[in-house]
Amino acid sequence: MLRALIPRLVYGYVHLVGWTVRLRTVGGDIARRLHAADERIIYAFWHQQQVFFVWSHRNAAAAVLVSKSKDGEMIAEALRLFGVETIRGSSSRGGAAAVREMAAMLRAGRDVGITPDGPKGPSRQVKEGVIRLAQISGAPILPIANALSLKLEISSTWDRFQVPLPFSRVAIVHDEPIRVASGDDLDLKAAELKIALDRISSAADRLVH
C-alpha cells in the first residue's frame, strides 16, 4: 500500500511546489530551435536535480530512463502521473536494451531524458550510456540544470539528492547541444558533457542566490 501511495504523494507535493515557485529559464530557445529543425533531443541532467524537471517537463513528448529497482517502480509511476513515459534500465541492469529502446523512441519522434551519473553514482560523473546513445542515434545531447533557493539536500544519499521546497526561486539553464559522431572518442565526449553540466549547474545556482 505504501508503494502505491508514495507516487501520488509525490505528485501532489510537486504540484504544490510548481504552483508556488518563481521560475527563470535561460536558453529555452535552444530546444525550440532543435525541434524546429525536426531534431529530437537527449536531455542530460545530474541525478540530484531530477525532481523539479518532473514539473517543468510534465506532459512533454519525452521518455525518461528509470532504473529497474523497486524505487524505480515508484519513480516510474510518479512520472506516469505527470504524463511522462519511462524506459526501464540502467548502467548495471538492462543498460544495452534501454539504449536500444531510447534510440527507437528518438526515431519515433520523442525526446528522451537521462541522468548520466545515475542511478548509483559516482555523483556528477558521466557514464558511457548517454554518449553511446547520441552516437548511434545521431541525436544531440542537450545539457540542462536547475537550481533552487529553497531545498532540502539529503546528505545521506550518494548524490546529495535535492528536494525542492515551496515558494522557492528556481532557475533552469540550458547549454548548447553536444553531438557525438561515429569516430569520436567517447571518453572525451563524456568529459565535455561533465564540464557543461557542472558549468550550467553553477550558473543556475548564481541566478537564485
What integer pLDDT is reported at residue 73 of this predicted model? 84
Decide: 21 and 149 in contact? Cβ < 8 Å: no
What integer pLDDT is reported at residue 143 of this predicted model? 98
Q: Which residues of the chain have pLDDT under 70?
A: 1, 90-95
What span, in angstroms and rounded, lies between the C-alpha atoms of 78 and 70?
Answer: 13
139: which DSSP letter? P
0.85 exceeded by the pTM? yes
* Domains along the chain with CATH numbers: 2-208 (3.40.1130.10)
CA–CA distance from 150 to each of 18, 113, 137, 168 (Å)?
13, 24, 38, 5
Alpha-carbon torsion (11, 16, 17, 20), positive or negative = positive
Decide: 139 and 42 in contact? Cβ < 8 Å: yes
What span, in angstroms and rounded, lies between the C-alpha atoms of 56 and 15?
Answer: 10
Question: Cell 528509470, residue?
Answer: 66
What integer pLDDT is reported at residue 76 of this predicted model? 87
What integer pLDDT is reported at residue 67 of this predicted model? 78
Decide: 57 and 81 in contact? Cβ < 8 Å: no
Residue 178 buriedness (CB in 10 A; 0-12 / 13-18 / 19+): buried
Instruction: State whether residue 147 is helix, strand or coil.
Output: strand
What integer pLDDT is reported at residue 55 of this predicted model? 95
What span, in angstroms and rounded, lies between the C-alpha atoms of 87 and 104?
Answer: 11
What integer pLDDT is reported at residue 205 of this predicted model? 98
Residues forming beta bridges with residue 86, ordered by sequence position:
64
What integer pLDDT is reported at residue 95 of this predicted model? 67
What integer pLDDT is reported at residue 93 of this predicted model? 54
Residue 107: enclosing H or E segment and its boundaries?
helix 95-107
